Amino acid sequence: MAEAIHIGRKISRIRELRGMKQEALALELGVSQQTVSNLENSQQIEDEVLTKIAKVLGVTDEAIKNFSEEAVINFIANTYNDHAASYGHYYNFSPIEKIVSLYDEKVALLERLLESEREKVEILRQTK
């Protein structure tokens, strides 16, 4: 027997994955936190309400209806693994080289500042 679709749980999981608290969702929807809690415990939700929730969560109604934990886990596993370089998501840089580069930039800025201050001092000497 197929598992019954529980829209409320799906909304809850998507909200959690988006890093949103019930209070924030309630505020965006213009309802109380208790109402959001009740919605998340509901197996079915009216289409109009689902559309409003989907908009706040930044997904479509269909994304909520078709949400699957397994799909999320598979997506993460296939996207963020040791073979990420083959998908074009792997960035390699040397932290030490970056630190040296930033230090060199800082030295150059300080040298320009020092030269500017020397010029100011020289102008002040000439005006006396």
Q: Read off the pLDDT of residues 72-116 as tens digits, 9 standing for 90 and up.
A: 776 666 666 555 445 555 556 677 888 888 899 999 999 999 999
- 84, 38 Cβ separation under 8 angstroms: no
Q: Please count the other Cβ atoms lying within 10 Å of the Cβ belonging to residue 72.
A: 13
More confident site: 71 or 90: 71
Domain ranges of the chain: 7-87, 93-128
The CATH architecture one would assign to domain 7-87 is Orthogonal Bundle (1.10)
More confident site: 67 or 114: 114
pTM over 0.85: no
Kindly give, in sequence order, each residue whose CB lies less than 8 Å from that of residue 22, ignoring residues fewer than 6 positions away.
Answer: 15, 33, 36, 37, 40
* Residue 28: exposure state from Cβ atoms within 10 A (0-12, 13-18, ≥19): middle
- 6, 68 Cβ separation under 8 angstroms: no
